[in-house]
Amino acid sequence: MPRELHLSIELDGTGHHPADAGPIAPPTAAHWPDLVRLAEQGALDFVTFGDAPAPPPDGSGDSGDRLDAVAVLARVAAMTSRIGLVPTVTTTHTEPFHTSTALAELDFLSEGRAGWQVDVSTTGARAVGRFPRAAAAELWAEATDTAEFAARLWDSWEDDAETGDTATGRFTDRDRRHHADVDGPHVSARRPSMVPRPPQGRPPLAVALDVHDSDGQWELAASHADVVLLDADQPATARLARAALQHRTAEAGRDPDALRVLIRVAVDLGGGSGPGPHSIPPADTVRFTGTAADLAGLLADWHAAGGADGFHLLPASAPADLPAVVHEFVPPLRERGIFRADYTGRTLRDHLGLPRPAGRYARRTGTAR
């Protein structure tokens, strides 16, 4: 029986639309929930929603109305029930404690469907009124430290730390709350989280990666990523990159088989002219313009060649391309037996086939659940 693939889609901004498409009207309150509900109809693993402190490029056609990714997906969480919700949160201008808390709360609001796409900002310092930008290597080192701190905070409550003991009036068992001790060049803290351990234990962490990216990005992926969104323009390149990722993941003391590698594919299924000059995807990204049925054949062949667990679609226009993805691209994959007919689990970790991690502090005390 062929391996089932994983499938996700980017719903950032207005999509990779042509620069000459004209100004885009600000989205209504129903815009994002409607799109995510449609993606959920197709049983996609998750959607990503981008965020950045820098304004869009001049002449992009983007209205410039950027909404906070976590806030948008918190609203969407109440209007969906199965699909994973993965906001981008940059570690450059967001305090690590606030990042971990916001993502834990999103995991509670969505009942275990939150993820986190980690990114850094090399251009947004002036927009947020903070320090000048640092070198990229330092920013990615900071991102790695923040990811480690977030994981420690999420683990700082054991799964049974909430007691709700009305007789004593205690909400938690203090012996099952632990200090997440971190003292490094980028993050320094000693305290437990403000919120209980998230439903998934740790919301899955995603990193976008290119074979030419810096060693710091590869280190973050190897040491902390559950999902890598990989740019690779040929199956052979994907196989080599996947093997390198698995090797580095094993060196970091993690199970390489628990890493999911999804190839990013820029798609235009609406008969448009493809990505415009302001939003050209990275050079190594697979690009496709044509019918949804042809895309299904192409990606099925890619999947059969190995090197990828699935695909992350970058639509030219989400409102135009997403219906074709759900109604014309997904069915042929199901007919081939390589994509689910419906969700079989409830959490994002369920969709990805990833176990719920045990808390590191609970293991230490012998009370892991």
Tens digits of pLDDT across the chain (369 residues): 578 999 999 997 655 554 444 455 566 768 899 999 999 999 999 999 987 665 555 544 454 456 889 999 999 999 999 999 999 999 888 888 889 999 999 999 999 999 999 999 877 555 555 565 678 888 998 999 999 989 888 987 776 667 666 666 666 666 667 667 676 677 766 667 778 889 999 999 999 998 888 889 999 999 999 999 999 989 999 999 999 999 999 999 999 999 999 999 999 997 554 444 335 666 778 999 999 999 999 999 999 998 899 999 999 999 999 999 999 999 999 999 999 999 999 999 999 999 999 888 875 544 443
Lookup: tokens for 232: 């690779």
pLDDT score, position 165 = 62
- pTM listed for this prediction: 0.88
Could you give the count of Cα atoms lying within 13 Å of 183 in the half-sphere of its Cβ?
3
Contact predicate 14/50, CB 8 Å? no
* Nearest-angstrom CA–CA distance, 222 and 187: 20
For the four alpha carbons of 143, 144, 145 and 149, in that order, the dihedral sign comes to positive
| Strand runs labelled E in 110-253 | 116-119, 162-165, 170-172, 182-183, 188-189, 205-210, 227-231
φ, ψ at 163 (rounded to 5°): -105, -30
Q: Which amino acid is at 280?
A: I
Query: In 3D, which of 325, 214, 333, 315 has the Cα closest to residue 265?
Result: 315
* Strand bridging mode 260-268 / 227-231: parallel
pLDDT score, position 302 = 93
- State the DSSP H helix or E strand holding residue 277, giving kind and residue range, or none if neither: none
pLDDT score, position 164 = 60
Lookup: tokens for 14: 């207005």
pLDDT score, position 48 = 97
Number of neighbours of residue 23 by Cβ within 10 angstroms: 11
Contact predicate 262/228, CB 8 Å? yes
* Strand bridging mode 188-189 / 182-183: antiparallel
Contact predicate 87/106, CB 8 Å? yes
Give the torsion through C-alpha atoms of 163, 167, 170, 172, to 10 deg.
Answer: -10
pLDDT score, position 185 = 74
Taken as a whole, the chain contains a residue count of 369
* Nearest-angstrom CA–CA distance, 192 and 64: 37
* Nearest-angstrom CA–CA distance, 159 and 166: 19
pLDDT score, position 217 = 93
Contact predicate 44/341, CB 8 Å? no
